[in-house]
A and B are shown apart, each in its own frame.
Chain A
């Protein structure tokens, strides 16, 4: 077993264990943190595959941004574990059926002829000067430019929708307008009055 294989098994073991803990941890914050660990190890696996751009993007986007917001929400929620566990047995048949269906679908997809090792031969040794990142950028902006733009438009729509859903004008909230504060002049705030001294 060479060094690379050892690293692969090391990362994969942590990845699988962390993913298991995501669904078995009782505390939702712990589960979210285990998901972070899983993402981190997945990015390590991608580094082993020479996909350094994807690996770092995974850490940057999912670990650095998405999971932070996720943790925010999970930490703010007051989750009552006991209440969530009520009715576990009555919901089990439906849940188990859906779970089995999903597992079956994944087995069909992964068992198909597109996902055998023969269908995806390992890329040969790369030439010096070959850049994975450049290749990815070329594909994204030439062959897949329309799907790429479409995805960004959908995300933009989602952003606007999220903003509109949470936007509400409250008549009773007080706030200061910084622009008005900056633009304030001396004459707006003080009034000079002449007070002649009084005589006895």
Chain B
């Protein structure tokens, strides 16, 4: 890093006061381009994995082993016409997909990829994440309403109600994490998981948050699936009930933006689960070096779980989704907040 900075020194002096702006933009691009590539290949990987699980082959025509399939899909969507329905509210119709994708990209500002490798190392990182991700629901509502179609409006209502409900469970699960790590900074939360009895013994994976907060880990994971509207909670696009949810009137790139946002959100939820509960970039055993590779491996595993769920479980019924969120997860989270509070006040506190 230092060698790179010394190489960039002449550029820095040339740009003068504009340097922080340019350097931040460069860093944003360095995060977003790999993210977009991951999104593209996540769609490919999803089709491949579900294909294998259903004893099919999956996409294998474009390029070697079908590897160019997502590029071809992207190009196809890019060249398609964006059709605006005659009676749609035009300005809001265009704002809808933008509001859907922007928060899922903005949230990456506080995500640490390794020790010190983070765009904005702010102390209120978790709060920022909660605030930004709660804006994502506007994309859904605005798109559904501005399309001026009953199907997209019903889809938007269902999706928005579901997202608002599961946000509460996710927030409570995070409260437990905040209580034991005593920090809102994501880097600090990862460092906090590197301390403890098991970490001293070299078995670092046993001192990560998933073990003492096992119910919250599961709640966060399942709520994450529901929050991103993925199967088995994908009532937004329940083909048997409503045609395709809030994006049914959209075509071309405007349609693709919703899915770019959805997959970026999936990767975000996976990387956050890894950071909050699975020790981020920490290695599982003491003698292995900590590095970004561990974070990538953990995130990929959780992403694989998302795809596995989709291939395995049938779709939830809508009232059962609401029951799970409000009557199971929220009480469980409140109870576990109490348990963690009593645990921390008792002599058995392991997070001193």
Contact A36 B145 (CB under 8 A): no
Contact of B134 among A33, A64, A133 (CB under 8 A): A64
Does A72 count as interface, using CB distance less than 8 angstroms? yes
Does B323 count as interface, using CB distance less than 8 angstroms? yes
Write out the residue numbers on chain B whose beta carbons fall within 8 Å of the beta carbon of A60.
127, 130-131, 134
Which residues in chain B, 204-239, are within 8 Å of chain A measured between CB atoms? none
Does B153 count as interface, using CB distance less than 8 angstroms? yes
Does B123 count as interface, using CB distance less than 8 angstroms? yes
Contact B124 A33 (CB under 8 A): no
Contact A68 B141 (CB under 8 A): yes
Given A59-B134, A60-B131, A63-B134: A72 touches B124 (CB 8 Å cut-off): no
Q: How far is A64 from B171 in the complex, measured between Cα atoms in Å?
A: 12
Give the residue name and chain of the A residue nearest to B123 (CB). A131
Contact A53 B167 (CB under 8 A): no
Which residues in chain A, 46-77, are within 8 Å of chain B measured between CB atoms? 52-53, 56-57, 59-60, 63-65, 68-69, 71-72, 75
Q: Please classify the interface of chain A as helix (H, G, I), strand (E, B), loop, or mixed, using the class held by over half of its residues.
A: helix
Write out the residue numbers on chain B whose beta carbons fall within 8 Å of the beta carbon of A123.
none
Does A11 count as interface, using CB distance less than 8 angstroms? no
Contact A178 B320 (CB under 8 A): yes
Contact B137 A29 (CB under 8 A): no
Q: How far is A56 from B106 in the complex, measured between Cα atoms in Å?
A: 14
Does B164 count as interface, using CB distance less than 8 angstroms? yes
Given A68-B164, A72-B160: A59 touches B135 (CB 8 Å cut-off): yes
CB distance from A86 to the nearest CB of B (A): 25
CB distance from B264 to the nearest CB of A (A): 18
Write out the residue numbers on chain B whose beta carbons fall within 8 Å of the beta carbon of A57.
127, 131
Given A63-B134, A75-B145, A75-B153: A56 touches B124 (CB 8 Å cut-off): yes
Contact of B157 among A53, A64, A72, A131 (CB under 8 A): A72
A interface residue numbers (CB < 8 A to B): 29-30, 33, 36, 52-53, 56-57, 59-60, 63-65, 68-69, 71-72, 75, 131, 133, 175, 178
Ordered by A's residue number, 13 sampled pairs between the chains whose C-beta atoms are within 8 Å are A30-B92, A33-B142, A53-B124, A56-B124, A57-B127, A59-B131, A59-B134, A64-B137, A65-B167, A68-B138, A68-B141, A75-B141, A75-B157
